[in-house]
């Protein structure tokens, strides 16, 4: 084992977990694990769905790389457990993670801070059958996006083209989550932009423009086909890319994110106004994932990115000093 990164100690790569994104998380985690080991890190796979997190402390893990996606990994719960265990971890802390996983709460913060995001209506699972659907269509227009408020990887997302499709879309989203987000559809360019760092030191990576088959960037086209085009350089005017990077940085900072994240953005075709859709605080690291792609365009290899993120692992609250008797 190389001593190049021996100061990092014994590292757990948290992967798998119990969310609907388990399959993607296992792919992300295996990629990270291989990269860290190739760089001489004493890294080990750890699946919280199969093992108790207390074992991290018992087995002497010094830090964790969180490659979990969705619930019980990206929502502040694992982050809180690691805070209690005193084991530094990658990515955002408890509060930023718990806000960012909830697309509705994220929108509320962004709107309060003047960050543009599509108009929305929140529908609760036990009330979707009572929704005034004509009024909903009138308010948000068609097409409309219907999705679970706290899922990722395009799981449960439905593009409603006609009013007749709305009940089915609501029912499908309700099967995934207690809260359903109905959102104004923004027609135009779909882009994503990763961020690395924290606070004033945070910086945006190159913007990636996504061109999916028939504009359908769904779960299948994200992870299991090669039909989607990812353009980096994105081909947008330099001033437009810069404006998106500035906006993404503002949105990242107002949520209190750190370590890394990735923002999904739609650029309205006519006005060229960017609208932020959501943020991922534990982005994918698979062969199709976009943060490594953007980092590579900025001259950062996959392996170097993994090591850089691992070095940034931290606790939000340092352990209190023992009181002197």
Query: Which one is catalytic: 28, 98, 150, 280?
Result: 280
Identify the active-site residue in 264, 275, 282, 302: 264
Give the active site residue among 217, 261, 284, 289: 284
* Annotation marks residue 63 as catalytic: no
Question: E strands, 54-148, where?
Answer: 63-66, 120-124, 144-148
Our measurement of the distance from residue 221's CA atom to the centroid of its chain's CA atoms, rounded to an integer in Å, reads 17
Give the separation between CA 21 and CA 13, rounded to whole angstroms. 16
- Report the candidate in 68, 34, 87, 82 with the shortest Cα–Cα distance to residue 307: 34
Of 89, 223, 275, 302, catalytic? 223
d(CA 222, CA 40): 31
Rounded-to-integer distance, Cα 297 and Cα 205, Å: 8
Distance CA 306, CA 182 (A): 35
Give me 321's structure tokens: 């000093």
Contacts of residue 285, defined as CB under 8 A and 6 or more positions apart, other chains included, come to 28, 29, 31, 32, 67, 291, 292, 302, 306
HSE toward the beta carbon, residue 171, CA cutoff 13 A: 6
Residue in 150, 153, 282, 312 annotated catalytic = 153
Is residue 74 a contact partner of residue 68, using CB atoms and an 8 Å limit?
yes
Concerning whether 301 is annotated as a catalytic residue, the answer is no
The token pair at 96 is: 């930023």
Which of the following is catalytic: 262, 282, 294, 312? 262
284 assigned to active site: yes
262 among known catalytic residues: yes
264 is catalytic: yes
- Copy the structure tokens of residue 86: 């005193």
- The angle formed by the CA atoms of residues 179, 282 and 213, to the nearest 5 degrees, is 75
Residue 261 among the catalytic residues:
no
Pairwise CA distance, residues 212 & 190, whole Å:
9
- Whether 278 sits among the annotated catalytic residues: the reply is yes
Q: Which of 16, 17, 19, 21 is catalytic?
A: 21
Q: Which of 183, 189, 278, 294 is catalytic?
A: 278
User: Is 113 annotated in the active site?
Assistant: no
Give the residue numbers annotated as catalytic, written as ranges: 21, 153, 223, 262, 264, 278, 280, 284
């Amino acid at each position: 084992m190389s001593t190049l990164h021996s100061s990092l100690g014994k590292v757990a790569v948290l992967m798998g977990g119990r969310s609907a994104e388990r399959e993607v998380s296992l792919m992300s985690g295996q990629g990270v694990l291989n990269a860290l080991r190739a760089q001489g890190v004493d890294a080990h796979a750890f699946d919280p769905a199969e093992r108790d997190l207390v074992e991290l402390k018992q087995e002497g893990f010094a830090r964790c790389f969180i490659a979990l996606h969705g619930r019980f990994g990206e929502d502040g719960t694992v982050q809180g457990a690691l805070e209690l265990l005193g084991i530094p971890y990658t990515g955002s802390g408890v509060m930023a993670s718990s806000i960012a996983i909830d697309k509705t709460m994220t929108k509320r913060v962004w709107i309060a801070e003047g960050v543009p995001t599509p108009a929305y209506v929140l529908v609760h699972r036990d009330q979707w059958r009572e929704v005034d659907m004509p009024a909903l269509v009138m308010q948000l227009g068609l097409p409309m996006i219907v999705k679970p408020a706290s899922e990722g990887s395009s799981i449960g997302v439905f593009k409603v083209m006609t009013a007749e499709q709305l009940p089915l879309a609501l029912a499908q989203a309700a099967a995934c989550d207690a809260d359903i987000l109905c959102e104004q559809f923004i027609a135009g360019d779909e882009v994503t932009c990763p961020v690395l760092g924290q606070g004033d030191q945070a910086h945006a990576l190159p913007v990636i423009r996504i061109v999916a088959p028939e504009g359908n960037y769904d779960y299948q086209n994200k992870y299991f086909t090669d039909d989607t085009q990812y353009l980096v350089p994105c081909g947008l005017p330099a001033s437009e890319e810069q404006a998106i990077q500035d906006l993404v940085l503002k949105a990242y900072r107002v949520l209190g994110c750190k370590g890394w994240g990735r923002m999904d953005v739609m650029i309205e075709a006519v006005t060229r106004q960017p609208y932020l859709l959501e943020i991922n605080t534990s982005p994918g690291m698979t062969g199709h994932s976009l943060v490594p792609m953007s980092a590579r365009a900025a001259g950062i290899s996959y392996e170097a990115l993994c090591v850089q993120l691992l070095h940034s692992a931290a606790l939000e609250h340092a352990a209190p000093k023992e009181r002197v008797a």
